[in-house]
Amino acid sequence: MSDCLFCRIVDKKIPAKIISETAGLIAIRDVNPQAPVHILIIPKKHIATLNDITQFDADIIADVHFLAKELAEKEKVSEEGYRLVLNTNSGAGQSVFHIHWHLLGGRVMNWPPG
């Protein structure tokens, strides 16, 4: 999608601080971090929300979790704790309609989050 911000980042048409890339995912630093470590994990395939995934996208979900684990270790937050967040639709805080996960760490996370 040419008007999708994350598709344009995936296609390298917009610069971003890419910290990891696999065949199906890209991980970038959030431009408005909400924690000392705030990384966005974005599938290269455009899927608007979690409501739009199909059984054929199951590998994406698994790959996101494995990459999140690796990034948490690399960023040295795996032992103290981190949060992996997926917002679905605007009522939950999704502002870019290309599915993505927020990896947050480096500080104590409160509960409930909202």
Q: Which of 38, 46, 98, 100 is catalytic?
A: 100
Residue whose C-alpha is closest to residue 37's, from 102, 100, 104: 104
Q: Which tokens sit at 111?
A: 């509960």
The single-letter code of the amino acid at 82 is Y
Please confirm, yes or no, whether 100 is among the known catalytic residues.
yes
CB 71 within 8 A of CB 32: no
Angle ∠(88,90,93) on CA atoms, nearest 5: 75
Beta strands 101-105 and 82-85 are: antiparallel
Q: Would you please indicate which residues are annotated as catalytic (active-site) residues?
A: 100
